[in-house]
Structure 1
Amino acid sequence: MGRWAELRASSWALPTAVLALYGFMANCRVAEPFLTPYLIGPHKNISAEVVTNYLFPIWTYSYLAILVPIFFLTDLLRYKPLIVLQGLFLVTNYVLLCFASSLTAMTFLQVNYAVVTSTEVAYFSYIYSVIPAERFQRATAYIRAAALAGYTFGATLGQMLVTLAGLDYFYINAVTLGMVGVAFLVSFWLPMPRRSMFFKGPRAAATRAVRSQQDGGAVEEEEGAVKRAEKTDPGTGEDGVGGGWWRGDRVAHAARHLSLSFRESYSSRHVIYWSLWWALATAGYGQVFNYVQLMWDHIEPSATASVYNGGVEAVCTLVGAVAAFSVGHVEVTWATWGEMALGFFSAVGAGAVFLMGLTGSIWACYAGYVVFKASYMLLITITTFQIATNLSLECYALAFGVNTFVALSLQTVMTATVVDEKALGLDIVTQFIAYGCYYSGISVLFLVRGVYTVCSRKPTGVKEQKAEDWAQVISAERF
């Protein structure tokens, strides 16, 4: 047993390095900062109103519809196949951008990209299935930093090709196609996890039940179900392959396991608060990120002015990458100061969004976006490892999926009411003012909660100190 723990500790670097390389290449999308100018320009010739109120909402709706099936397939197929699928759909995405031009094709492109984004649950959960828990914080920081560094490199390269080489947007997309093609090949190098989290055989389930320490009655019930499954289907192996386990027992066990893991995941207030920020902030971030290029084009149209989208994305993502990497080496009592940090940096993000919506200067809008994105990347990295370190592996995989689903549901509501042409269909400036108000609400919520947490912990410390002093007095009197 000691030898196995030592082996796992020594081999954590390989899957982390390969996943980081994949994340770097998959996010090295040279053309992404110039997507809106490409769509509304002569290559696709789609109006800005159609892009804002019709095309981009399709991605949001498709993402929500695909996310839940992808989550279960991710676990059932054990993570790696879904990462490979993400690489494949990234390639398809840029094939469509390069060689398709109709509105129907661009509509399908949004659905295709929804598959890419929904499979991120596999990318960010994979590493926790192949490395020990004590490496979670550092591995999370490295993986996010690699993804952000890849995006920074791609955005920088894209800006150089546009500004210095004067390269056409078509060739920028062709270069990106080559980058994501390399990522697709790298995905095959990832080690395959030994088992899934929920869809697994009775022996693996029994191991999980023995390790669980929070819900004693639920564990006993789980163990009883495992023993019954073994009697019913004795030929089933550790991974649940064979006989009736693939018919009904496997699904029934997965449902019980999901229910148990859900109760464990959200029985902790600490996890609930971090998950709440994750869902709320990610929904707002998704809206700002999706529509910021349209805001830039509104302030300074790309058809008549130089475009520096790539340079701006490179700067803000580089800052975010540095912040994400530093998280792995910073020691802070997050249980005390975490909610204050969430509230403070959310307030910074709210101010940056208001600046983007109200300014008439493209450079002020660029600066606001840099501040907004960097603060979000810092906090989402902290949030990710805080949730991971407070949960078991199975619970983390479920929490990631649930949090992402809640965030996307909120984003879909915002899209349907604020953006969609069938509802309010607000112009881009009014949209950003609405997003600024939304982030202000998040900051107020967590600042109030953070002040309460900090103040409530001080009396506890005083009482403990007084109790310790009193114990010393009593001990002295005895002797």
Structure 2
Amino acid sequence: MSVLHPTLLLCVYGYFSNLRPSEPFLTAYLMGPDQNLTETQVVNEIFPIWTYSYLVLLFPVFLVTDYLCYKPVLVLQATSLVVTYAMLWKARGMPAMQLLELFFGLATASEVAYYSYIYSVVDSSHYQRVTSYCRSVTLFGSAAGSLTGQLLLSVAKAELVHLVIVTLGSVGVAFVAPWFLPMPKRSLFFHSSLGAAENKPCCTSQAEQEPGSDVPMISRPSAAVRSSGLAEVLQILFRDFVQCYRCRPLLAWSVWWALATCGYFQVINYAQPLWENVRPSQDYEIYNGYVETASTLLGALAALLVGCLPVSWAQWGELALCLLSMLMAVCVFVMDLLKNIWVCYGSYVLFRATYMLLITMASYQIAASLNMQRYALVFGVNTFGALLLQSLLTLVVVDSAGLGLDVFTQFLIYGTYFTIISVIFLLAGLCTLASKRRSREEVMSDIQAEAESSSPLNGDVIFCTTTQENSSLSLDKSSD
């Protein structure tokens, strides 16, 4: 019952907080008669605020989440979502929409509480199962929200503002769930359990993990809880940061994580303005909801396939990142250059599914060598790196304070960006293969040299033994 109660409430919260029928049609709503904003205002002045606020709030929210033991930040996230969609329904004007993006950035940064809470209230033996429940229900909620929005728009002939009202009702339901969650008595850093596995080395093999588990091992906590101050927590974080990123495989996967997530955020954030240019919602019926539903479900399926692919990721992982990053680059170029809405939709679905496959693979490779405490750190650092790169890219390419480029030129840059990622990991993969081949050749040469050096000795022994046997045989004959 202690596992069922919080898991059920978290699943209810995750489902309804991601059930957002208005999400696939946000750009059409902002540029439509309800808000009557221009494309330049939406793309170059409103959307960048989310990126900046997410970046600024991520690390403080991460520390506050751990210090307050998750539940208060879950309530804060639910409140931020309600405020966001209430403003989207009632508020008007660009300043109001920019403030809305700030609240949405706070809600996004607070997601760390949702994915960390469960580890503080259940035993480590349940980690894998409850994690799969919580992540699956968020994906299902997102897909159901997109499909609901499309059906309301296409079948029920609802207006876009009605989708916003339905979304507000959904996040209102989600707002209730966190209040009934039990308050954790421990956390990863500020209120850590005595006896927790704090010194597990990075880059351990998968054989050292808990049998049959895809999540990192962590010692079962004792009843005692030790509280730490901010200075001590920061020292622990810095020490673990240095130790973890000294590991080359973890560093390679983390670099791809940060680079690709930056580009992924940019593409999904500005895909709707691209579609709006290709097929204006004022003149044609749009099918963004079906596309988001298909991409989410296919992405979930791709994530499930990671555990079934018979690939040696340690040897071929970097080349796989190269090839699939190039596929993502091709998808972005196709969306930008062909300017056909159906091709754009198909490329977007393939792009998201590819990213979901790779990010799941990267998450698994990183988690396989870390305990839960260090995985939270690495996940946070990788996400922060992605947001830092995304903020720089947004400031230079998107923001009206920078170049303020149109959406087609932006996607040309994003396609080039993924091409550069592919080249980086092509070179890294070739270096890895060359290093492994050189190591094998050195081992073989050492074995051959050892064999050659030992051959004369063996021959001498055989010769001496044979000589002794012949001598003995002669003596026997002479005696006869």
Q: Which category of TM-score, normalised to the shorter sequence, fits these structures?
A: 0.7 to 0.9
Name the stretch that deviates more: 192-201 or 273-282. 192-201
**For structure 1, which segment, 185-194 or 391-400, has the greater mean C-alpha deviation from structure 2 after superposition?**
185-194
Question: Is residue 86 of structure 1 aligned with residue 60 of structure 2?
Answer: no
Structure 1 residues 396 and 15: CA distance shift in structure 2, 3 A: farther
1:136 Cα deviation (Å)?
Answer: 6.0
Relative distance call for 1:193 and 1:348 in structure 2 (3 A) is farther
For 2:230, give the aligned amino acid. V
State the Cα deviation string for residues 380-420 of structure 1 (Å, max 9, x = none): 12222322221122211111211111111100001110011
Counterpart check, 1:343 vs 2:330: no
Which residue of structure 2 aligns with residue 401 of structure 1?
380
Provide, for residues 129-161 of structure 1, a one-character-per-residue CA deviation record: whole Å limited to 9, x for no partner.
456667766665554333222211111111111
Residue matched to 2:426:
447
TM superposition shift of 1:317: 1.1
Aligned length: 432
Question: What do the CA deviations read for 1:361-392 (whole angstroms, capped 9, x no partner)?
Answer: 11111111111111111111222232222112
- What is the CA deviation profile of residues 415-458 of structure 1, one whole-angstrom value per residue up to 9, with x for unaligned ones? 11001112111111000000000011111112332233345445
Please show how residues 99-248 of structure 1 align to structure 2 within 5 Å.
99-129=90-120, 142-190=133-181, 192-200=183-191, 204=193, 207-208=195-196, 211-214=198-201, 238-240=225-227
Please give the alpha-carbon distance, in whole angstroms, between the structure 2 residues aligned to 1:388 and 1:134.
16
Amino acid corresponding to residue 330 of structure 2 in structure 1: G
Structure-2-length-normalised TM-score: 0.82
Equivalence for 2:252: 273
When residues 388 and 49 of structure 1 are mapped into structure 2, their CA distance, relative to the original with a 3 A threshold, is: same
Superposition deviation, residue 16 in structure 1: 5.4
> Which amino acid in 1 is paired with 2:292?
E
Unmatched runs of 5 consecutive residues or more in structure 1: 1-9, 216-236
1:194 deviates by 3.6
Q: Distance in 1 between matches of 2:27 and 2:225?
A: 49
- Equivalent position amino acid for 2:288 in 1: N
Once the two structures are TM-superposed, the CA of residue 284 in structure 1 deviates from its matched residue by 0.6
Radius of gyration: which is bigger?
2
Which stretch of the first structure deviates more once superposed, 47-56 or 117-126?
Answer: 117-126
Mapped partners of 2:50, 2:318: distance in 1: 32
Aligned-residue offset at 1:177: 1.3
In structure 2, what is the equivalent of residue 45 of structure 1?
36
Alpha-carbon distance in 2 for matches of 1:129, 1:44: 43
Contact 2:201 2:370 in 1 (8 A): no
Q: Distance in 1 between matches of 2:417 and 2:115?
A: 26
Residue of structure 2 in register with 1:388 after alignment = 367
Q: Is the 8 Å Cα contact of residues 200 and 371 (structure 2) preserved in structure 1?
A: no
- Output the CA distance in 1 between the equivalents of 2:31 and 2:198: 55
AA of the residue aligned to 1:207:
G
Question: Which residue, out of 74, 86, 89, partners 2:65?
Answer: 74
Measured at CA, do residues 446 and 132 of structure 1 come closer, stay the same or move farther in structure 2, by a change above 3 Å? Answer: farther
C-alpha separation between the residues in 2 aligned to 1:361 and 1:123?
38
Query: 1:37/1:411 Cα in 2 relative to 1: closer, same or farther (>3 Å)?
Result: same
* Matched residue type, 1:334: W
Distance 1:400 1:32, change over 3 A: same
Letter in 1 for 2:286: V
* CA separation of 1:365 and 1:105: change in aligned 2, threshold 3 A: same
Sort the Cα spacing of 1:349 and 1:213 in 2 relative to 1 into closer, same or farther, 3 A.
Answer: closer
Correspondence 1:265-414 to 2 at 5 A: 265-328=244-307, 332-414=311-393
Distance 1:128 1:334 in 2: 28
Match of 1:61 among 52, 58, 71: 52
Q: In 1, are the aligned partners of 2:41 and 2:94 still within 8 Å (CA)?
A: no
Task: Assess if the C-alpha contact under 8 Å between 2:185 and 2:191 holds in 1.
Answer: no
Q: What amino acid is aligned across from residue 321 of structure 1 in structure 2?
A: A
Tell me the alpha carbon deviations over residues 174-232 of structure 1, each in whole angstroms, 9 at most, x when there is no partner. Answer: 1111222222233345554441222237xx4x634x751549xxxxxxxxxxxxxxxxx
What CA distance in whole angstroms lies between the structure 2 residues aligned with 1:195 and 1:42?
Answer: 50
Query: What SS does structure 1 have at the residue aligned with 2:225?
Result: coil
User: What TM-score, normalized by structure 1, do the two folds share?
Assistant: 0.82
Query: Is 1:284–1:435's contact at 8 Å kept on the other side of the alignment?
Result: yes
Paired with 1:317 and 1:191, the residues of 2 have a C-alpha distance of: 31
Q: How many angstroms apart in 2 are the aligned matches of 1:334 and 1:451?
A: 14
Query: 3-state SS of the aligned residue for 2:195?
Result: helix
Counterparts of 2:343 and 2:198, CA distance in 1: 53
For 2:195, the aligned partner's letter is T
Q: 1:354 to 1:33 in 2, by over 3 A?
A: same
What is the rounded CA distance, in whole Å, between the counterparts of 1:16 and 1:333 in structure 2? Answer: 34
- Quick check: 336-345 or 46-55, which moved more? 336-345
Cα drift, residue 350 of structure 1:
0.5
- On the 8 A contact 2:200/2:370 being kept in 1, the answer is no
